[in-house]
Structure 1
């Protein structure tokens, strides 16, 4: 089977179209050119917040609260765990502590200080798998 590769901008555009069809805008709103914030309603009535990094300089990342991502970890999608316990990083001597994640997460109360999983999207099918799995919770 041949895998067709997409450029980053096209992949992000497809992912955003999928998100718009499956989710509603998060109460925190979208963040201009860098991030899109959403809420997905699950079949059990849960509200799952997620953020999609859409900036042109980053890979297509999707941030999801860890407790909802359990069934996503066995899929063929690269991910990174981001624990709340290591969120604020100590700055250099005398500096202030810095937030250790994408700044657009700070205004999402449900995600800002939670344990999160950041998925790296390489193919549109991966975004589809994430959305289908979350909606089935």
Structure 2
């Protein structure tokens, strides 16, 4: 499965298993979702579906830190402390993350984890963990 096919399969799976975020999707670049955990808690996630980058999922770090300790999923931390740390060409601080995260209340300024999805089974394991 190539990257484009993987992203399409991930989007299909997300559409089947979770609800679209009230902010909606961001055109061709990102899909925003809300997952309902068994306890009823709503968990925001954002999936990068753009043609240039990998199939990345963004989620609040506190939701997945224990899960990631026991998996081999490729991921990176994106701490809130690094937001606005870089200045743009005009000298003003820039957000420093995918712009689709800015309209998500729980993710916009939180410590996040970016998980690279390399197979549909990895997405299923991730969703199973959040919905447990």
The SS at the match of 2:11 is helix
Alignment counterpart, residue 99 of structure 2, candidates 100, 103, 121: 103
Kindly state the Cα deviation for residue 27 of structure 1 after the two structures are TM-superposed. Answer: 1.0
- 1:45 Cα deviation after fit: 1.1
Q: Any unmatched runs of 5+ in structure 2?
A: none
Q: In the alignment, which residue of structure 2 is the partner of 1:49?
A: 44
Stretches of 4+ aligned residues off by more than 4 angstroms: none
Matched, 1:64 2:72: no
Q: 1:34 aligns with which of 1, 14, 29?
A: 29
What's the CA shift string for 1:87-111, capped at 9, x where partnerless?
1123168600001100110011110
Would the alpha carbon gap of residues 93 and 49 (structure 1) be closer, same or farther in structure 2, given more than 3 Å must change? closer
Aligned to 1:20: 15
Residue of structure 1 in register with 2:80 after alignment: 84
After superposition, the CA RMSD in angstroms is: 1.3
TM-score (norm 1): 0.91
Give 1 or 2 for the bigger CA radius of gyration: 1
SS in 2 for 1:67: helix
Q: Which stretch has the larger CA shift, 72-81 or 23-32?
A: 72-81
Partners of 1:79 and 1:119 within 8 A in 2 = yes
Q: What is the count of residue pairs matched by the alignment?
A: 131
Aligned to 2:125: 129
- Give deviations 1:3-36, integer Å, cap 9, x for gaps: xxx1001000111111111110111110000000
Q: Give ranges in structure 1 of 5+ residues lacking alignment.
A: 1-5
